[in-house]
Chains A and B, each alone.
Chain A
Amino acid sequence: MAINRRGFLKTLGVAGISLTVGKSFGAAREEKNAVEFNGILYDSTLCSGCQSCEYACSDKYELPYPTDAPVPGVVRTTSDKQRVAVNAYNTSKGPQHIRKACNHCNEPACASACLTKAMLKTDEGPVIWREEKCMGCRSCMISCPFDIPKFEFDSPNPKIQKCRMCYEELMKGDVPACVEVCPQEALTFGKRKDLIELARTRIYAEPEKYNHNIYGEHEVGGTGLLYLASVPFEELGLRKDLGTTSYPEYNKTFLYSVPAVLILWPAFLLGLHNSFKERRSNILKGKEDGHEE
């Protein structure tokens, strides 16, 4: 394919534009420095299902009080009016309770799906939703592997409802409302790293009592919420098929190929166009309304 100088320059120009556009996308994928995230350890063997955390959360965020109590056989979920839900299960080791709320993933799917950065993984660990940014597209809901973000379908000014680990309290040096209120001390707030140590210590101390895994240590690339249980987690309705890959990872191939496509495709197309030009001008019957020749 013979490229004349002008054609070459043109190709270069297109590639150049794409390069600058492409770069800005590429740069954004650079990882943040790993910081020590905060987290919450939830020991389901201590949980009595009293719903204190639900009430405390409703109080704090001005949501209605829960109207039902956990009973085995009924799965309660978080909703646009409830950020945390406690469930009861009949397990191989008798009735057990389990709490469901945002897991504050280390690399959250919701935040990487959000096109306005309304969902944000803070440096401190909590994943928070910011009203002033959100446009209500609900891709966070599509992407969250735990189906946590909930949307107020019945409001003309809808919000996304989801646990924010009482981010503002943390900044003041306090602990989340649910941790503070739990009468069984089933919830412990702290640095994620220390919490994993604590969880391990409990397992070592009472190996008979505990399932030897910590849910959330590796799930979906690690989560801020860590779960201890006496039975396999599936018995408590936790999904074990989510894998240990962080969810934004699934997008990476696509996102990385964007700059490449933006650079190579136009250059290739222009080359193709030029090589067909000769043929084009032969067939041309004065119907050209393209570029100047």
Chain B
Amino acid sequence: MKSEQSTGFLKFILRELKPKGKIITPFNIISALTILVAAVILVFRFKDGLGSVIHGSQDAPWGLWINFNVITGVAFAGGGFVVTFMVYILGLEKYRPIVRATVLYALLSYMFYAGALLLDLGRPWKVINPIIGNSFGISSVLFLVAWHFLLYMGSLFAEFFPTIAEWANLKRLRKVFASMTLAAVIFGIALSTLHQSGLGALFLMAKPKIHPLWYSEFIPILFFISSIFAGLSLVIIMETINQKVFWRNMSFMHKSSHRNIVLGLARVSAVSMFVYFFMTILVFLHGKNLAYLNTSWGYWYMMEILGFVLLPCMMFLYGYRQRQLTAVRIAAIMSVVGIILNRMNVSTIAYQWYAHSIHFPTWMEIVVSVAVIFVQILVFRWIIRRMPVYRESPSWVTGEEQKKSFKQKEERRKKWMVSAG
């Protein structure tokens, strides 16, 4: 009996593993090629050392894999904690249709960017050291970030598991995990707050090396606030693309609320961007950085802050007011560019700004960076096409929930009757 069940499950998995949709598409070809080349590059990376593929310099020890995939990429995964906050904590049901996709995106981001981190570690076989506890560097910011990554992956997984269970028809497990959602969300938000700001805190001790326009003791706070609109902007872009690509996998409710959701997100982004902008100005004044403004670094800084924070902020607001999706989408793209600029400035461009050489990544570094993102997109697509992420949950779930909500209604009615005498 048991074995029959498991062979049935195996068959199910095997069937699901087969690709759905057209195989030969430009996207598939490009991504497959990139991933292939990246795999070859990685062989060399492990055979001959990091320096054989990345532009590893003693002055700028972190390359693209950390500074772009991890430090920048994780900011974009911020949507995960913001959207769950809005839906589960504030009870804004309007955003319910995008919860699963955002959580999935965040989960995959953490999985693959933590992967990128492993590739970049010089001695990845020692990665277990700070985890099993034989050498806890507790005063280290990176230690905190690593642990929070790990725990947060756990809570994202717990948040997403009901979707997997619905797909694989695991009724009992679904129930167990669904009952943990709120705890996972709350824990996840706390962890996100800490590791989003922690990524900024990694640079706190690099004080003498980062240009004063980008360094301040408030980096952690700025990183945290900017991760809010970074995440939301990415959700807006993702929703826009997914509307087209996964049209067939989307529930009717989702399709019809798309516009409202995007506009709502635009408003939240605009507000958080404004707060960020305001804080940046305060930090700027606090640091007495006026003298730097009229230098080429100053222009570069102003471009980032005015062109890619203030401007998209206004555009979000405009788009929200005028109910203009195009404006919102352009604003989202601009704010994504702004976040990339900011994170790369802090970690790479304005890092060791007094050094004369420009630190530029090798092509191999770039290929691997992009390949990591491609893998993430492919897995994302694979899951969306199969699991009820955008789709309605299977009937056994909705049935159960209808029962539950009926019971609730009934209870409320009774309460009301009692209070009414």
Contact = CB atoms under 8 A, between A and B. Distances in A.
A61 interface: no
Contact of A135 (B59, B122, B405): B122
A227 B157 CA distance: 54
A115 B58 contact: no
Given A135-B122, A284-B408, A279 B49 contact: no
Nearest to B198: A254
Contact of A272 (B89, B202, B393): B89
A113 B205 contact: yes
Interface residues of A, number: 75
Given A153-B50, A269-B189, A285-B405, A248 B197 contact: no
B28 interface: no
Contact of A288 (B201, B207, B404): B404
Contacts of A114: 137, 140, 142
Among A243, A272, A288, the one with the most B-chain Cβ atoms within 10 Å of its Cβ is A288
Given A139-B142, A139-B202, A289-B397, A158 B49 contact: yes
B181 to A, nearest CB: 5
Interface residues of B, number: 76
A37 interface: no
Interface string B185-197: 0110110011001
A157 B124 CA distance: 10
Contacts of B127: 135
Contacts of B190: 18, 261-262, 265-266, 269
B401 interface: yes
B143 interface: yes
Nearest to B46: A156
Interface string B339-367: 00000000000000000000000000000
Interface in A152-187: 152-158
For A28, A138, A283, the residue with the greatest tally of chain B CB atoms inside 10 Å of its CB is A138
Contacts of B143: 115
A150 interface: yes
A73 interface: no
B307 interface: no
B51 interface: yes
A137 B91 contact: no
Contact of A255 (B50, B56, B144, B402): B144
Nearest to A131: B123
Nearest to A145: B208
Interface in B234-260: none
B126 A136 contact: yes
B19 interface: no
Contact of B123 (A79, A158, A276): A158
Interface string A269-293: 1101100110111011111111111
Interface stretch (B9-17, B34-42, B128-136, B379-387): B128-136
A270 B186 contact: yes
B316 interface: no
A30 to B, nearest CB: 10
Contacts of B319: none
Nearest to B162: A289
A38 B62 CA distance: 32
Contacts of A262: 190, 194
B90 interface: yes
B289 to A, nearest CB: 15
Given A138-B122, A273-B182, A258 B194 contact: yes
B122 A137 contact: yes
Contacts of B204: 250-251, 254
A46 interface: no
A293 B404 CA distance: 9
Contacts of A93: none
Contacts of B393: 289
Interface in B77-121: 85, 88-91, 93, 96, 121
Interface in A242-270: 242-243, 247-248, 250-251, 253-255, 258, 261-262, 265-266, 269-270
B49 A142 contact: no
B139 interface: yes
A243 B217 CA distance: 14
Interface in A85-122: 109, 112-118
Nearest to A141: B61
A281 B79 CA distance: 24
B345 to A, nearest CB: 15
A29 interface: yes
B73 interface: no
Q: Which of A25, A80, A143 has the most CB of B within 10 A?
A: A143
A291 B144 contact: no
Contact of B205 (A143, A153, A291): A143
A59 to B, nearest CB: 23
Interface string B269-290: 0000000000000000000000
Contacts of A247: 205, 207
B32 interface: no
B215 to A, nearest CB: 10
Contacts of A79: 58
B52 interface: yes
Contacts of A272: 89-90
Contacts of B180: 291
B88 A255 contact: no
Contacts of A280: 91, 93
A253 to B, nearest CB: 7
Contacts of B401: 286-289
A254 B141 contact: yes
Contacts of A113: 140-142, 205
A151 B137 contact: no
A221 to B, nearest CB: 12
Contacts of A151: 56, 58, 61, 122
B206 interface: yes
Nearest to A274: B89
Nearest to A29: B139
A134 interface: yes
Given A143-B206, A283-B93, A286-B404, 6 more contacts: A29-B139, A114-B142, A141-B61, A247-B207, A273-B88, A276-B91
Interface of A: 14, 18, 24-25, 28-29, 77, 79-80, 109, 112-118, 132-139, 141-143, 145, 147, 150-158, 239, 241-243, 247-248, 250-251, 253-255, 258, 261-262, 265-266, 269-270, 272-273, 276-277, 279-281, 283-293
